[in-house]
Amino acid sequence: MLLDAFEKTIFPYLVQIGGILFIYSIICSSYIVMRTHDIKELVEKLRSLVIGYMIIKGAFVILAFINKLIESMKV
């Protein structure tokens, strides 16, 4: 219902934008490491990027679960 419309119209664009921003932040972090030679900073930034991705993906999974519950209730 709600999730199907989101998956077909908005989600593909969000995935493309997220991929572009993810690659851009990796490039920026790599440039900072080349200038400062601080690998720990790169690891921290990559970890925060992965945690951000997990939060967004987890929210989408929770939304899909709630959508299935609503569809199964059919009053």
Average pLDDT for residues 15-32, to the nearest whole number?
A: 83
Q: Output the pLDDT for position 63.
A: 80
3-state DSSP assignment of residue 74: coil
What pLDDT, in 10s, does the model give residues 41-74? 888 888 888 888 888 878 878 888 888 888 888 7
State the Cα–Cα distance between residues 24 and 22, nearest whole angstrom: 5
State the Cα–Cα distance between residues 68 and 40, nearest whole angstrom: 42
Amino acid at 18: G
φ, ψ dihedrals at 55, nearest 5°? -65, -45
Structure tokens at 68: 């299935």
State the Cα–Cα distance between residues 59 and 51, nearest whole angstrom: 12
Q: Output the pLDDT for position 27.
A: 87
Q: Output the pLDDT for position 2.
A: 64
